[in-house]
Amino acid sequence: MNIYIISGTFPEMHCGVGDFTYSFCSELKKYGLTLNIVTTKYPQIKPLEGVTVTQLIESWNFASLFTLLDFFKKNKADIIHIQYPTQSYKNKAMINIFPVFLKFFSPKTRLIVTMHDIATAHIFNKIRAIPFLLFCDKIVLTVSEEKEYLAKKMPFFRSKLEVIPIGSNIKPVRLESGEKKTIRQKLGVLDGETLISNFGYILPKKSLETLLHSLKILKEEGAKVKIIFISEFLPQENKYHASLKDLACKLNISDLIIWTGYCLEEDASRYLLSSDICVELYDDGVSYRRGSFLAALCHGLPVIVNAKGKLPDGLKDSENVITVPIKDAGKLAEAVKKLIASEELKAKLSWLAKEFSGVFSYENIAKKYFDLYNSVLQDK
C-alpha cells in the first residue's frame, strides 16, 4: 500500500498539525506501508526513519498546484491523505482545490483529508473546505462534536465522516532519581513552592490573561506559587506576547513567571513532569482537539481546564480534571488553592488522567488510520 501524506508543516516547523503528522507516522510505518510525506521546503526538516520525506512546495499558492499535480503524475499513490489546516497553507486555497484537479487527472487515486478544525474555523475557511467534502473519499474529524457539526450542516456527507482522535505531540520522558528537584532548582523554584505549568503555543484564544490575573490573586492571598509557560515566547516580535509581558509587569507578578522559550520535545516533557499542576485554558472550552491538553493528561498531571457547556465524553469534573468557568480568574485561583491543599485530590487526578490518556495513544491512532486505509481501498 503506497500512502502519500500531504502536510504543509513537519518538524522542526512550529505547528501542532506537523507534530501530529510526525508522531502518527512514526507508529503507522510499523504496519509495513510504503509511507511518504510531502511538505514545504524548509531548511531544517526532521527526518523520519523508514519514511520518505519530500520537501516539494515553496509556497502553497495556485502556481504550486501544478507542481503538486505533476509530482503525483510521476509518483503513483494508492491513497493521498491531506492534513488540514496547517500554518504553511496560510489563507491560500490551493490545497482546497487540489482534490478537484486530482480527481480529474487520476480518478482511481483515493483521497482522505483530516480536518483538525472546522466548527470554530473562520467562515472563509469553512467555505474553502467544501471541495474536500465533495471530492475526498473520507473526511476524518478529530472529535465527535466536529462530526456532528458537519453532519448537521451537510447531512448528505454523513457517510464520508469518520472520527479519529489526535494524541499528545510530547512523549513523556523518564526522569532520573533527583532530576525533578534539580530542574526545579535551576528554574528558581524554592522548596515548598507550587509550580503551575502551561504548555502550548501562546495565542490570544487561550485566555492567558486570566491565568496571570489568577496568579495576582494567589500572590495577594499568600500562596507560594510560580508559573512556567512552556512555549516559544517572542515579545520583541509578537504583539500578543509583548502584551502578556506588560500585563505581568502591571500586576507585579513578573518574578513569579518563568518563560522557557521554544524548547525541544524532551525538555518540554521534563518541565511538565517537574511541575505540580497544569492549567490549560481555551476561550471555546476544553476539547480533545487540543494537543497541549492531551500532553498534560499523558504526563499524569492534575489538570485545570475551563468548560463551555457539556464536557467532552470521558472527562469528569473533580475525577480526572478540575473545571473552572471561562475567563474567571477568581474561580481559577480557588481551584489552584483546592489542589494545593489536598495531596489526595492531586494524586487521584494524576492517576485517572494518566489512565484515561491511553485512548489517545499513537498506537491506537495509527491502527485506526491503517484500518481506514484498508476500508477505502476495499471500497475501490
User: What is residue 336's predicted lDDT score, i.e. its pLDDT?
Assistant: 97
In a domain? residue 322 = yes
Question: In the numeric block, which cell numbers belong to residue 114?
Answer: 483530516
The residues, ordered by sequence, that sit 6+ positions from 130 with a Cβ below 8 Å of its Cβ are 96
pLDDT, one tens digit per residue, over 84-118 is 999 999 889 999 999 999 998 899 999 999 999 88
Query: 52 and 157: one domain?
Result: yes
- Model confidence over 178-228: pLDDT tens digits? 999 999 999 999 999 999 999 998 999 888 999 999 999 999 999 999 999
Residues 122 and 208 in one domain: no
Domain range for residue 349?
Answer: 179-358
Residue 173 lies in a domain: no
146 and 213 housed in the same domain: no
Q: What is the CATH number of the domain that holds 92?
A: 3.40.50.2000
Question: For residue 208, is it within any domain?
Answer: yes
Q: What is the pLDDT of residue 133?
A: 92
CA angle 139, 24, 269 (to 5 degrees): 130
Residues 85 and 189 in one domain: no
* Cis omega (within 30 of 0) for bond into 312: no
Is 340 found in the same domain as 205?
yes
Instruction: Give per-residue pLDDT as tens, 317-328.
Output: 999 999 999 999
In a domain, 210, yes or no: yes
Residues 143 and 46 in one domain: yes
- Same domain for 289 and 232: yes
List strand residue ranges (DSSP E) for 98-237, in order.
110-115, 138-141, 161-163, 194-199, 225-230
- Contact (Cβ atoms closer than 8 angstroms) between residue 26 and residue 102: no
Assess whether 162 and 226 both reside in one domain. no
- Does residue 8 contact residue 95 with C-beta atoms inside 8 Å? yes
Please tell me whether residues 153 and 96 are part of one structural domain: yes
- Total number of domains constituting the chain: 2
Query: Which amino acid, one-letter code, is at 293?
Result: F
C-alpha dihedral, 304 to 305 to 310 to 312, nearest 10°: -90
Q: Let me know whether 280 and 268 are in one domain.
A: yes
Residue 174 lies in a domain: no
Residue 98 lies in a domain: yes
Do 368 and 354 share a structural domain? no
Same domain, 238 and 139: no
β-pairing verdict for 303-306 and 277-280: parallel
For the entire predicted model, the pTM comes to 0.84
β-strand pairing of 194-199 with 225-230? parallel
Tell me what pLDDT residue 380 has.
61
